[in-house]
Structure 1
Amino acid sequence: MKRQCDAFNCSREVASGRFLCLSHWRMVPVATQQAINTRYRACRADFGFLSDLVYLQACVDAIDGIAKIEYGAGHQAGQGSYHRLLRVAQRKATV
């Protein structure tokens, strides 16, 4: 199953279970890559990564970092699905 790369304005296809296309993944700092991989593996059995604060924050950091590299320091990637999921998870964590 294929899906689209989550980087801002990228239409490249990636395999299921992949977050970004290879060229965008290489732009992500190693520590952020490790956080994404570790939390995804730990929570993937029950889709828990979709509410995991560490995983979602790392994804948002990756997407925003790529947007800044590609479009300049003042650019924000927007409020994509990972941004929305992170806000929901943050709200639930404070309740």
Structure 2
Amino acid sequence: MNRKCDAFNCSREVDTGRFLCPSHWRMVPVAIQRSINTRFRACRANFAFLSDLAYLQACVDAIDGIARIEFGAGHAGHQARQGSYHRLLTLAKKKAAT
């Protein structure tokens, strides 16, 4: 089953288990790519990556970085807060704080 790329305003389909389409993935710095891949592999059992702070932060950093490149700094910050990874990160931080 295919899903949509997680970059803002991208309608390209990506294979299951992929975070971004190839064009957007290439825009992500290598260190962030490594972090996403490492944390995803370490936490994929039971979908634990969806509450892993390091994984979610890396995803947010990737999405925000792409938005800054494509739309400029002002647009990125406003749109980024609306993304699902941003909401998951906020929830995971709240859970970790309790």
TM-score bracket relative to the smaller structure: over 0.9
Q: CA deviation at 1:90?
A: 0.2
The secondary structure found in structure 2 opposite 1:56 is helix
Count of aligned residue pairs for this structure pair: 95
- What's the TM-score once normalised by structure 1's chain length? 0.97
Task: Give the TM-score taking structure 2 as reference length.
Answer: 0.94
Identity %: 76
RMSD of aligned Cα (Å)? 0.7
Match for residue 85 of structure 1 among 65, 71, 88: 88
Task: Note the residue ranges of structure 1 that are not aligned, 5 or more in a row.
Answer: none
| SS across alignment from 1:8 | coil
More helix by share: 2
Moved over 3 A (4+): none
Deviation track 1:55-91 (CA, whole Å, cap 9, x = no partner) reads 0000000000000000012222332110000000000
Counterpart secondary structure, 2:54:
helix
